[in-house]
């Protein structure tokens, strides 16, 4: 029989400030005495006369604490305790075992089965209150931890969803394959880090034979960087500016005026490549905040072409300069984001531009294709990392004059 004890007429009908407790004992006198003491302490109390009834109640109610007698018919306290503590949905409920003073072996067995505490008979009011309050406080702290962990899981899931959205935005901004250009071999590759960065590259062939190439890196991670990339691509596709510096200034103004509640910027370089009748090509470049262009020439030459200027989106009235140079067959340009020189090894040492340039001197551009050069440059980074995880996206574009 399942019983519920309610406060007498002298008590309030409002919900007591304590917990919801279940008293399980086949002895009516013990049940009644213990329950009334608990009511006076401000708890709600329900009662069960044996273990089987107790389990039915535990599975259908949300109890804060169970006080469980050991010796009962049908199902004893050991069996109830073992069942509760083996169930992942119930094991967090504190269980205080009720036992005789001289039943030390029973106490030990209960503790081994997972009991949180025990109360000796006859009940000492002070000890009863202290042990119940301690168990309820333990459960309260545990419930707080569970709620905090749940909230943290929700926040992590939200951030993961945001990063996945940003990754999809980023990937949609990239070309599926380099364009076919009569005077150039082109290869491109991007390795993404565990979190979404904001690396971007793109190609814009023109009807007059020119090729515009963009490469950049938005600061930060998540939707913000994805939005910076999207705005940059939209500006590149929509612009009608003839001069590269004017184009860069226009994109800079657009990005500066984006208000995302935090400072974001875009390291960006745009190149205008023009074929010449003699087989050479001229390259005009402008931008800011981007690693240098590396020009590989026959004989192991590796030249740095610096592109000076602030990252776009930092200052609306920033100035940008134009850099021009000429390439002859089989000269090869390397464009990269800062993820390559900033690769770490297992000792947390950076690859750096100096070591990267030293490795580039070993490449024979006369013999290697653009794709092979790209693979060898990527191999330099992989060899340096030696398995250490990427901290940022690595983007590389190689263009070899045919």
Distance CA 315, CA 186 (A): 33
* Fold exhibited by the domain 174-401: Phosphatase 2c; domain 1 (3.60.40)
Q: Which residues pair with 4 in a beta bridge?
A: 46
Distance CA 178, CA 182 (A): 12
pLDDT digits (tens, 9 = 90+) for 182-219: 999 999 999 887 666 678 899 999 999 999 999 998 88
Mean pLDDT of 250-279: 86
Q: Which CATH architecture has domain 2-147?
A: 3-Layer(aba) Sandwich (3.40)
Neighbours of 50 (CB within 10 A): 19
Distance CA 378, CA 381 (A): 5
Buried b (16+ CB within 10 A) or exposed e, 129-145: eebbeebbeebeeeeee
Q: Which residues pair with 5 in a beta bridge?
A: 45
Helices (H) and strands (E) in the chain, counts: 9, 16
Cα 320 → chain centroid: 36
Bridge-based pairing state of the strands 65-69 and 20-24 = parallel
**What is the structure's pLDDT at 241?**
60
Buried b (16+ CB within 10 A) or exposed e, 8-19: eeeeeeeebebb
Return the DSSP state at 171. Answer: H
**What is the structure's pLDDT at 17?**
57
Which of 164, 236, 227 shows the shortest CA–CA distance to 198? Answer: 227
In contact, 192 and 166? CB cutoff 8 Å: no
**What is the structure's pLDDT at 11?**
41
Which of 309, 115, 139, 93 shows the shortest CA–CA distance to 216? Answer: 309
pLDDT digits (tens, 9 = 90+) for 126-161: 999 999 999 999 999 998 999 999 999 999 998 888
**What is the structure's pLDDT at 144?**
92
Return the DSSP state at 139. Answer: H
Which uninterrupted H or E stretch holds 227? helix 223-238
Least-confidence region, from 47-61, 218-232, 320-334: 218-232
Return the DSSP state at 381. Answer: H
Which uninterrupted H or E stretch holds 59? helix 51-60
In contact, 137 and 164? CB cutoff 8 Å: no
- Structural domain boundaries in the chain: 2-147, 174-401
Q: What is the mean pLDDT of the chain?
A: 87
Residue 315: pLDDT over 80 = yes
SS3 for 68? Answer: strand
Kindly give the interhelix angle for 244-256 and 223-238, rounded to the nearest 10 degrees: 140
pLDDT digits (tens, 9 = 90+) for 45-89: 999 999 999 999 999 999 999 999 998 988 999 999 999 999 999
Q: Which residues pair with 269 in a beta bridge?
A: 215, 287
pLDDT > 90 fraction of the chain, expressed in percent and rounded: 62
315 sits in the region (left: phi over 0; alpha: psi -120 to 50; else beta) called beta
Distance CA 364, CA 358 (A): 13
Distance CA 31, CA 5 (A): 10
């Amino acid at each position: 029989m399942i019983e519920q004890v309610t406060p007498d007429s002298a008590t309030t009908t409002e919900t007591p400030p304590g917990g919801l407790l279940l008293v399980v004992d086949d002895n009516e006198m013990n049940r009644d005495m213990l329950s009334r003491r608990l009511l006076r302490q401000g708890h709600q109390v329900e009662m069960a006369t044996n273990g089987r009834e107790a389990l039915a109640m535990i599975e259908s109610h949300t109890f804060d604490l169970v006080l469980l007698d050991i010796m009962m018919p049908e199902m004893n306290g050991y069996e109830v305790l073992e069942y509760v503590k083996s169930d992942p949905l119930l094991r967090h409920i504190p269980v205080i075992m009720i036992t005789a003073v001289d039943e030390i072996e029973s106490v030990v067995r209960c503790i081994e089965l997972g009991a949180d505490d025990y109360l000796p008979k006859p009940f000492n009011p002070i000890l009863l209150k202290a042990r119940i309050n301690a168990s309820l406080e333990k459960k309260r702290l545990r419930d707080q931890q569970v709620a905090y962990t749940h909230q943290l899981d929700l926040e992590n899931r939200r951030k993961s969803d945001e990063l996945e959205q940003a990754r999809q935005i980023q990937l949609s901004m990239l070309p599926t394959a380099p364009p076919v250009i009569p005077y150039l071999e082109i290869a491109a590759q991007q390795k993404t880090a565990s979190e979404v960065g904001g690396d971007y590259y793109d190609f814009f062939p023109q009807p007059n034979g020119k090729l515009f190439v963009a490469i950049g890196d938005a600061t930060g991670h998540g939707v913000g960087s994805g939005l910076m990339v999207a705005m940059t691509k939209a500006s590149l596709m929509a612009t009608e500016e003839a001069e590269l510096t004017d184009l860069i200034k226009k994109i800079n103004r657009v990005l500066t005026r984006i208000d995302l509640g935090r400072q974001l910027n875009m390291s960006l370089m745009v190149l205008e490549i023009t074929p010449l009748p003699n087989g050479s090509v001229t390259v005009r470049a402008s931008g800011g905040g981007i690693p240098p262009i590396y020009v590989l020439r026959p004989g192991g030459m590796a030249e740095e072409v610096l592109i000076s200027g602030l990252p776009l989106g930092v200052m609306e009235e920033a100035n940008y300069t134009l850099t021009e140079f000429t390439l002859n067959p089989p000269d090869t340009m390397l464009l990269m984001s800062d993820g390559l020189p900033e690769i770490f090894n297992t000792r947390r040492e950076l690859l750096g531009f100096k070591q990267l340039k030293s490795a580039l001197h070993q490449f024979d551009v006369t013999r290697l294709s653009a794709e092979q050069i790209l693979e060898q440059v990527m191999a330099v980074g992989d060899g340096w990392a030696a398995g250490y995880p990427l901290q940022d996206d690595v983007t590389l574009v190689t263009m070899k004059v045919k």
